[in-house]
Amino acid sequence: MTLKCFYTNKTVMFRMTPSKKRNGKMKWLAVADYHEMSRAGAERICNVIAEASKARRRVNIGLATGNTMLELYPALAKMLDENKVMLDLLHTYNLDEYVADGKAVPHSHPLSYYTYMHENLFRHIDPALGLTEDRIHFPDPLNPDAFDAELAAGGGLDLQLLGIGFNGHIAFNEPQSESEISAGEFAELPTRVISLKPLTIETNSRLTAGGREDVVPRQAVSMGMKPILAAKKMLLLACFPEQAKPLSAMKHGRPTPELPASYLLEHKDSEIIYTADQITLK
């Protein structure tokens, strides 16, 4: 597929750099830096959407938030716009949203993921391409089961974009001891409201709230491991030095609730792209 590169005025043919398999079926790709990680991630998502659009079939993309994705989303919007990829059959499903007083935080909340997505992706997409608000989905803490049911009825995720927490969480599926829950039970967890671990609160306050832990809600509604792992493709991006530890543990480990991201190891089509200037795997 020929795409116009986000960072130049030249039209180029993007070439998918082969990834190396380090453990099981998972592919690992080290890229130079954050810029290259963002471009590679946007390229992969754009290709999945474009192929479905050309075939005139529905496509479901799972989306993540956070600093890791800040450059990816404008790049993706640029690729979709410049290639006139029709989005009238695209559905997006966000992984999570913060919860306060039992409800999703308002869009005016400084950490609202709904607002994050609109500011970083959706407002950059040409409305003429056909993406409408009714096909942008977030889990509802008041009825999380409905999110899973709607996603399953729509055919499940074609691609799930993920980050990785410094403690190895994906979405807000926090680590749990194997004495609390078996590996099989953890893989079957549905979308639900979750209480956040202290490390997650501290990390998110530092990265997104200017160090103010009081701004970070103590709960979130999170897509469960079951719908995440059912995705046809998994794409995990990592760019922080602190992520080297959980990634290295994945490289040498096995799927365990104590490291939620480790469940990608046995997925049939999963890839990790990480920045070599910040992350060294052991």
Catalytic residue list: 96, 167, 169, 174
Beta-ladder partners of 30: 274
Q: CB atoms < 10 A from the CB of 278, how many? A: 16
CA separation for the pair 14, 19 (Å, rounded): 15
Picking from 201, 230, 234, 264, the residue whose alpha carbon sits closest to that of residue 48 is 234
**Reduced to 3 states, what is the DSSP secondary structure of residue 201?**
helix
Residue written as token pair 């597929």: 1
* Dihedral of the alpha carbons of 218, 219, 224, 225, in degrees to the nearest 10: 10
CA 273 to chain centroid, in Å, comes to 12
CA separation for the pair 188, 226 (Å, rounded): 5
DSSP letter at 94 equals E
Picking from 109, 31, 95, 28, the residue whose alpha carbon sits closest to that of residue 65 is 95
**Residue 67 · residue 258 · CB < 8 Å:** no
CA separation for the pair 281, 262 (Å, rounded): 15
